[in-house]
Amino acid sequence: MDTERVGITALNAGTREGAEPWILEHPRFKEMISLDVADSSQVYSAFLVYIDLMEVRNWHDLQILGSSELHLVYLFGQEKADQLPQVIIPTPVTMSCSHERYVI
């Protein structure tokens, strides 16, 4: 997959004016794109949530995972070191979900 093309699409689809192009070069953003399981807006959303959890909220052992069946990138980690792990499914506001099946 063309990381540069997908990254630019993600920035155009999900960012506000004045977004920083450093995101395209961030190793975790590239890792999410390389999973090749989600569309660019969902990858961008997952990246923003990942950065928030790691750098602002100081989560522990945060892993980036992908589901080809659900077509999304999700996160798995602990809010605090002594707590049970949690699954976080970042989604853009334009994506709808159902308890019966995942709707894109």
pLDDT tens string 52-82:
999 999 999 999 999 999 899 999 999 999 9
Q: Is residue 101 part of a domain?
A: no
Q: Is residue 100 part of a domain?
A: no
CA angle 34/84/35 to nearest 5° reads: 5
Cα separation, 88 vs 100, whole angstroms: 19
Q: Quick: pLDDT tens for 19-44.
A: 568 898 999 999 999 999 999 899 99
Q: Is residue 103 part of a domain?
A: no
Domain with 27, as residue range(s), is 3-88
pTM metric for this prediction: 0.76
Q: Is residue 69 part of a domain?
A: yes
Convert 88-104 to b/e letters by CB count within 10 Å (16 or more is b). ebbbbeebeeeeeeeee
Count of structural domains within the chain:
1
Q: Is residue 94 part of a domain?
A: no
